[in-house]
Amino acid sequence: MTYPPRAVPGLLLLLTMSLPHVRAADTPNPLLEPSPLPFGYPAFDRVSDSHYAPAFTQGMAEHLREVEAIANNPAEPTFENTLVALERSGLLLGRVQRLFFNLVGAHGNDALRAVEKDMAPKLSAHSDAIRLNPTLFARVDRLHARLDQLGLDPESRRLLDRTHRDFVRSGARLGDPEKNRLKALNAEIATLQTSFAQNVLKETNVSAVVMDRREDLAGLTAAEIATAAAAAKAAGREGKFALRLVNTSGQPPLGSLENRAVRERLHQASLTRGSRGGDFDNRALITRLARLRAERATLLGYPNHAAYQLEEQTAGSVTAVNKLLSDLAPAAVANARREAADIQRLLEREQPGATLAAWDWDFYAEKVRRERFAFDESQLKPYLEMDRVLRDGVFFAATRLFGITFRERRDLPVYEPTVRVFDVFEADGTPLAIFLADLYARPSKRGGAWMNSYVDQSGLLGTRPVVANHMNIPRPPDGEPTLLTFDEVNTLFHEFGHALHGMFSSVRYPRFSGTRVPRDFVEFPSQVNELWMTWPDVLRNYARHHRTGDPMPAALVEKVLAARKFNQGFATTEYLAASLLDQAWHQLDAKKVPTAEGALEFEAATLRGAGVDFAPVPPRYRSTYFSHVFTGGYSAGYYSYLWSEVLDADTVEWFKSNGGLTRENGDRFRRMLLSRGGSTDAMELYRGFRGADPDVKHLLERRGLSTARP
């Protein structure tokens, strides 16, 4: 995934992430001053839980004083005394927000989650106090009316235009009664989103499936069984075995567990999250959120929340997104049904009379792949040791493509012992950025994989990037190597693509830094970076046996590459199903949102209506644990991975036809796209780099849909 939303100096963009506990409170509060460490790297070792609430309070107060001074400046509004001043405002609050929300997601605790819940409505009210300030908007509006007469450079002109648009979309033109209602809506939405996120994390941590007998885990490796035993012991169930859930519907052990009843139990535990009643039931939360978002959109002049959100994306409209999803769904489901038929035949051979169920898919799909391509995941993992993949794969490709180099350092504090820190240098040795790799799963970390920024690049502020990648790779027992799945390797390359987008940022204004681009464009550079995972020179460099150092055999490599389109019907269908649910919830009128009791039936009806209600392939996320859209900033935007993949697949063809992994290609990609952030219209950047509009045929070919029969 991507990245979670980020706080920005100046006009505030609220977040939905979160931070750690480190040690007892000190005085004075270290958050109130910029970090003295290189690049403003956070002083994690000096910060404690008790520092955040007062730092938030002081940060909001300082920000409002700065904004009031700008709004009430008696001088005629100018670009410098209004727009640039706004970009310079709120630095303390932005610094506190980034640190707090980034790290509650990475290493939270109950005390910090309490602060998060308390601050959510306060931060919403703070943002409203700025965006709905009529005096401030009047200054911005007067400047915007003279946009063509101000003689601004392109980035400054875009800053004025986008800032004015931000105000209008935030309700600046509403009357006072409507503004008051908007403030109430924003506060409640912020609180509900926080509650949803916390429910998902808490339930995931208590919903591990516990088995009494080692035999129940037949099919798992010795290391995986040891990890399950350690998880059970940590939960106070010593002598048993616990399989912790990840946030997707599918669970990694389903591909290996031989006991069908255990697979069913694990799968059902996953699918029923957030809908079992009790403290973590999210049905009332999602229906209330959908209703409030719809009401807010209507108040702002839009037919629904999706229309409001999509106006700012490269897709541009509900119609365009609906067409993309509906065009692909029939072919994807047809492919999934053909894949299911192959799996059913194998299942029938082994268990006569059995009918394929969702918990069988991964296990038997792996057997089908083994029969068809003569390899399985267990043959790959010994060649995919995590540190070698990172250094000799991810970093190696970046060095070849962009000339940058990496040096690990151990003198900077970290918030959790397994987090690693690297200096990143330009080809000439000039420091470029600091990169954190936080790759292991733990109960304090939210699910999934993402990139975030601790310090954003800005020419105006003179700041350089500090960015992090996060994953949830199970940590092996002490002394054992961390061996990755092929999917985990792909995710590592993907998330580093986001990191490159942040590290290469070269813009003046914080508003446009790094990955602050439309949601359906932000995944494009990260998906392009996945190309290098299987690029021959790169694969040969990192895919080596963790004990012998021998390269992955050429015959195995050929089988891996030949199997890339295998199971794409399943993968595309589960993704489309989740995307369609996202759109369905957010294209509703407020009066048509179902009750909490009707939430699951609404979900089922949506899937039936779209033709993707294929029981063996459930949505990648069901509504009740769909964090991307109910708390993670992707509301009405989950389609964006596929939209970005259209651009990505087309760009991959460009790289292949222009020599592939070369400095010339990398420098062009960096100069014309990665460094520009949001300073230019996203599709203008794309066309400038590619020289044409994207061609969807490359995506269809990649996913095996171009010749799919309906």
| CA-to-CA dists, residue 113 to 16, 101, 198, 454, angstroms | 12, 10, 8, 19
Residue 215 annotated in active site: no
Virtual torsion, Cα 125, 131, 136, 139, nearest 10 deg: 180
Strand partners, 405: 425
159-163 contact pairs (CB < 8 A, 24+): 159/83, 159/87, 159/509, 159/511, 159/512, 160/79, 160/83, 162/511, 162/678, 163/11, 163/83, 163/86, 163/511
Are the beta carbons of 14 and 632 closer than 8 angstroms?
Answer: no
Locate 54 and state its tokens.
């007062």
Locate 564 and state its tokens.
């890339």
Are the beta carbons of 642 and 575 closer than 8 angstroms?
Answer: yes
- Going 602 to 606 to 607 to 608, the CA torsion angle's sign is positive
Locate 191 and state its tokens.
């609180």
Q: Taking Cα atoms as reference points, which of 60, 136, 129 lies closest to residue 91?
A: 60
> Which position has the token pair 């009316």?
145
Residue 88 DSSP symbol:
H
Locate 709 and state its tokens.
């029969």
Determine the Cα–Cα distance for residues 193 and 285; give it in Å rounded to an integer. 8
Determine the Cα–Cα distance for residues 579 and 418; give it in Å rounded to an integer. 34
Determine the Cα–Cα distance for residues 95 and 110; give it in Å rounded to an integer. 22
Determine the Cα–Cα distance for residues 334 and 329; give it in Å rounded to an integer. 8
The one catalytic residue among 495, 523, 530, 603: 495
Work out the widest C-alpha separation in the chain, in whole angstroms: 84
Which DSSP string do the residues of 649-702 spell out, in sequence order? HHHHHHHHHTTSS-HHHHHHHHHHTGGGTTSS-HHHHHHHHHSS---THHHHHH
Q: Is the peptide bond before 28 cis (omega within 30 degrees of 0)?
A: yes
In 441-495 the beta strands, taken as DSSP E runs, fall at: 450-455, 466-473
Q: Which residues contact 266 (CB under 8 A, 6 or more apart)?
A: 209, 243, 251, 253, 254, 257, 359
Q: Which residues are catalytic?
A: 495
